[in-house]
Amino acid sequence: MALFGAMMVITSKNPVYSVLWLILTFFSISGHYILLNAQFLAIVNIIVYAGAIMVLFLFVIMLMNLNHTAEPKKNRWVKLAGVVAGGCLLLVLVAALKDTEIKQQTAEVATGGIGLIKNLGKELFSTYVVPFEISSILFLSAMVGAVLIGKKD
Using CB under 8 A as the criterion, which residues of the chain lie in contact with another protein when the complex forms?
A: 127-128, 130-131, 134-135, 137-138, 140-142, 144-145, 147-149, 151, 153
Alpha-helical runs (H) found in 12-128: 15-35, 39-44, 54-64, 76-99, 117-126
User: Taking Cα atoms as reference points, which of 60, 56, 28 lies closest to residue 42?
Assistant: 28
**In the bound complex, what is the minimum distance in angstroms from residue 106's beta carbon to another protein?**
15
Which is closer to another protein, CB of 53 or CB of 144?
144
**In the bound complex, what is the minimum distance in angstroms from residue 50's beta carbon to another protein?**
22
Q: Which residues 6+ apart lie within 8 Å of 80 measured at CB? A: none
**In the bound complex, what is the minimum distance in angstroms from residue 138's beta carbon to another protein?**
5
Which is closer to another protein, CB of 13 or CB of 151?
151
Which is closer to another protein, CB of 70 or CB of 130?
130
